[in-house]
């Protein structure tokens, strides 16, 4: 068992939750930064959390924000981490077009703030740093499959902010000899995925449609192709990157690419609904093959000003140097997400049928 101390920014997010679980299993003392929110925002990690008055507490949460330098410096000083995983970010590509300045501040300068905290505290030789870089850096297709040597061409304020993060990590590694890595991670999903990312939006909607809680699913670009993996596999890769002799940057990807349309079909298939596609572009519709009812429609509101059409990763370097292999298949990912959302909305339906307010009161 390890006796290391880790600090995770973004611990309340999808990856933060899986990574915290993994590190606790390995014996780490885990500290996480959470933002103050008007509602509880620790749902994903509540099962890991013990009250500080209990015995053997290994998970500690601290209020903080990547836009607040003094807070970050103080936390790094108090916690004295061996490893920092910088997962916090405004992570929604479409939302970054609405909040570009905030996204640059949190995702770009936020990364710099953490690196500077390490430098100001003279902890360069003690701390290993992981940066959540992204396949969005590739953006417009220059070549496929995309690897560590593929040139970047970002296509959103999110990707532009993350490109700053990528290069500042590399620069601090070279300038100050810090152990700092970029994980260039392709899309990874799970039942814990945020509700507005396309995979979770689909599995939630399909479950609700099956249970009679929703009529239709509205989506944007059905042709976009993504290299989807399971978040559990990807957080293991993050940890591996910080266990090497020398810091480097690595792509993590499944090596397969699938269009959004296929994800929709497979999700419906899990609840025994076959989809027939009719029409094209904005007029394309997905019909229940058995009844002819329209279940999927395109809504232009979900089209992005600039789109990333195709992501297809090559993780050979991570496989070769880290011994990383994804365990989950694409089909298993869809099945696990559908199973979880069916269970979730069965509870909702039960409440609704009993005349109660549903769990998803905010929708």
CA distance 323 to 161: 30
CA atoms within 13 A on the CB side of 2: 17
- List the beta bridge partners of residue 131: 86, 182
Helices 157-176 and 110-120, axial angle in degrees (round to 10): 20
Judged by beta carbon, residue 156 or residue 286, the one nearer ligand NDP is 156
Based on its alpha-carbon atoms, the radius of gyration of the chain, rounded to whole angstroms, reads: 21
Strand extents, DSSP E, 191-233 = 217-219, 225-226, 229-230
Cα–Cα dist 273/262, whole Å: 13
Q: Does 89 bind ligand NDP (CB under 6 A)?
A: yes
CB hemisphere CA count around 292 (13 angstroms) = 0
Q: Which DSSP helix (H) or strand (E) runs through 125? A: none
Token look-up 């936390």 returns 75
- 12: contact with ligand NDP by CB under 6 A: yes
When binding is defined by CB under 6 A, the residue of 216, 302, 351, 352 that contacts ligand GDR is: 302
**Alpha carbon distance 231, 328 (integer Å):** 9
Looking at beta carbons only, is 295 or 330 nearer to ligand NDP? 330
Tell me which of ligand NDP, ligand GDR, none is bound by residue 13, counting a contact when its beta carbon lies within the kind-specific cut-off of 5 to 8 angstroms.
Answer: ligand NDP
Name residues contacting ligand NDP, limited to 112-141 (CB under 6 A): 132, 134
| Listed residue (227, 226, 252) closest to 238, CA to CA | 252
The least distance separating ligand NDP from the CB of residue 344, rounded to whole angstroms, comes to 17
Residue ranges in 69-128 that form contacts with ligand GDR under rule CB under 6 A? 91, 93-94
Query: Which one, 100 or 287, has the nearer CB to ligand NDP?
Result: 100
Q: Is the dihedral of CA 235, 240, 242, 247 positive or negative?
A: negative
Residue 358 CB, nearest distance to ligand GDR (Å)?
A: 22
Interacting residues with ligand GDR between 213 and 232 (CB under 6 A): 219-221, 224, 226
Annotated catalytic residue, options 21, 83, 136, 265: 136
Q: Which does 232 bind (CB under 5 to 8 A by kind): ligand NDP, ligand GDR, none?
A: none
Rounded to an integer, what distance in angstroms lies between the CA atom of residue 252 and that of residue 188?
10
Minimum distance between the CB of residue 353 and ligand NDP, rounded to whole angstroms? 31
How crowded is the C-beta side of 37, counted as CA atoms within 13 Å?
10
Q: Which does 93 bind (CB under 5 to 8 A by kind): ligand NDP, ligand GDR, none?
A: ligand GDR
Please, which of residues 232-271 interact with ligand GDR by CB under 6 A? 260
Question: What is the spatial distance between Cα 354 and Cα 358, in angstroms, rounded to a whole number?
Answer: 10
Residue range at the interface with ligand NDP (CB under 6 A); choices 7-15, 53-61, 285-293, 332-340: 7-15
CA 85 to chain centre: 13
The Cα-based distances of 39 to 35, 65, 194 in angstroms read 11, 16, 16
Q: Which helix (H) or strand (E) holds 42?
A: none
Residue 134 is among the residues annotated as catalytic for this protein: yes
Q: Least distance from C-beta 146 to ligand GDR, angstroms? A: 11
Name the minimum Å distance from CB 21 to ligand NDP.
13
Confirm or reject binding of residue 136 to ligand GDR (CB under 6 A): yes
**Residues 175 to 194 in contact with ligand NDP, rule: CB under 6 A:** 185, 187-188, 194
Would you call 158 a catalytic residue per the annotation?
Answer: yes
Closest by CA to 231, choosing from 150, 309, 336, is 336
Based on the residue annotation, tell me whether 172 is a catalytic residue of this protein: no
Instruction: Find the binder of ligand GDR among 74, 197, 244, 352 (CB under 6 A).
Output: 197
Residue 61: enclosing H or E segment and its boundaries? strand 59-63
Cβ proximity to ligand GDR: between 82 and 136 the closer is 136
Residues recognised as catalytic: 134, 136, 158
In the complex, which residues of this chain contact ligand NDP (CB under 6 A)?
9-10, 12-16, 33, 35, 37, 41, 65-67, 87-91, 106, 132, 134, 185, 187-188, 194
Residues that bind ligand GDR (CB under 6 A): 91, 93-94, 134-136, 186-187, 196-198, 201, 219-221, 224, 226, 260, 302, 304, 307-308
């Amino acid at each position: 068992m390890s006796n290391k101390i880790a600090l995770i920014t973004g611990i309340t997010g999808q990856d933060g939750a899986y990574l915290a679980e993994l590190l606790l299993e390995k014996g780490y003392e885990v500290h996480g930064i959470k933002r103050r929110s008007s509602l509880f925002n620790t749902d994903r990690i509540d099962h890991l959390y013990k009250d500080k008055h209990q015995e053997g507490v290994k998970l500690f949460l601290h209020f903080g924000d990547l836009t607040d330098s003094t807070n970050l410096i103080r936390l790094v000083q108090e916690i004295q981490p061996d490893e920092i995983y910088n997962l916090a970010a405004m992570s929604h590509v479409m939302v970054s077009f609405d909040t570009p300045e905030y996204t640059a501040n949190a995702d770009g300068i936020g990364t710099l703030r953490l690196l500077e905290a390490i430098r100001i505290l003279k902890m360069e030789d003690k701390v290993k740093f992981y940066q959540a870089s992204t396949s969005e850096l590739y953006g417009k297709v220059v070549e496929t499959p995309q690897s560590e040597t593929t040139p970047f061409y970002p296509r959103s304020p999110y990707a532009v902010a993350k490109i700053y993060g990528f290069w500042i990590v590399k620069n601090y590694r070279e300038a100050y000899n810090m152990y700092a890595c970029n994980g260039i991670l392709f899309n990874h999903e799970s039942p814990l995925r945020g509700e507005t990312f396309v995979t979770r939006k689909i599995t939630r909607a399909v479950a609700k449609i099956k249970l009679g809680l929703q009529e239709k699913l509205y989506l944007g670009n059905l042709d976009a192709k993504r290299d989807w993996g399971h978040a559990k596999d990807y957080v293991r890769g993050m940890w591996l990157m910080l266990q090497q002799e020398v810091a480097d940057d690595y792509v993590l990807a499944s090596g397969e690419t699938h269009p959004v349309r296929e994800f929709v079909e497979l999700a419906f298939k899990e609840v025994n609904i076959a989809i027939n596609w009719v029409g094209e572009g904005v007029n394309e519709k997905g019909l229940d093959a058995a009844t002819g009812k329209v279940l999927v429609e395109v809504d232009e509101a979900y089209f992005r000003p600039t789109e990333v059409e195709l992501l297809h990763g090559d993780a050979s370097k991570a496989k070769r140097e880290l011994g990383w292999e994804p365990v989950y298949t694409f089909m298993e990912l869809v099945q696990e997400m559908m199973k979880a959302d069916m269970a979730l909305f069965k509870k909702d339906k039960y409440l609704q049928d009993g005349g109660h307010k549903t769990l998803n009161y905010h929708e």
